[in-house]
Amino acid sequence: MATPAPTEFIAALDKPHTSAEGARLLETLGLAEADLQPDPLDEVGGRVYEDKSRALQLEYQDEGRRREIAYHDIGEGPWVLVQVFLRSAVAGAEAYPGPLPYGLHFDMSKQQLAQLLGAPDSSDPYVETWQKDGHRVLVNYEPKSGAIKSVGLQAPVM
């Protein structure tokens, strides 16, 4: 199973799946537009790819929900990558096998994360966030143990 370099995820954030960066990410993962399923938590205009065996989730939004497009029907795409989640083995499943962005590791403590990324922009027992290079880095925690559940990347909110 091919795993993208962290820079591939970052480059594809906030870009349509049809862009060079978006298409490269899908190709590396062996995916096509048909693999992006309607998001069950979104009424219209969202797509999601989730593969628990790969510990990976990609969330997309119709480009028409991100910017004005003349003569565009929401729900037809193209699909803009808005979030990436790479899951650890905390929940008992397999951990994402590829490298994590910014040199992160699932076994890092909050103190180690702060040494690597600086103080978080926001923090609570469940999630810490950092602004990096025009996007947000999220680290989700299991509240009882403090172990990292997932590392996420999020495009700017529109």
**pLDDT per residue as tens digits for the range 23-57:** 999 999 999 999 999 888 777 788 999 998 899 99
What pLDDT shows up at residue 141? 95
CA atoms within 13 A on the CB side of 60: 30
Radius of gyration of the chain (CA): 16
pLDDT in tens, 111-139: 999 999 999 999 998 999 999 989 999 99
> What does the buried/exposed string (b/e) look like for 108-139 if buried means 16 or more CB atoms within 10 Å of the residue's CB?
beeeebeeebeebeeeeeebbbbeeeebbbbb
CA 78: distance to chain centroid? 18
pLDDT at residue 158 greater than cutoff 80? no
* Average predicted confidence (pLDDT) for the chain: 90
- For 88-106, what is the mean pLDDT? 91
Maximal C-alpha separation, the chain? 50
Query: If you write DSSP's letter for every residue of 13-45 in order, what string do you get?
Result: BTSBTTSHHHHHHHHHHT--GGG-EEPTTSSSS
Query: SS3 breakdown of the chain: % helix, strand, coil, rounded to 5?
Result: 20, 30, 50
Q: What is the pLDDT of residue 151?
A: 97
> For residue 63, what pLDDT band results from cuts at 50, 70 and 90?
confident
- pLDDT on residue 17: 95
- Give the residue extent of every domain in the chain: 6-154
- Give me the mean pLDDT over the 137-150 stretch: 93
- The whole-number pLDDT of residue 1 equals 62
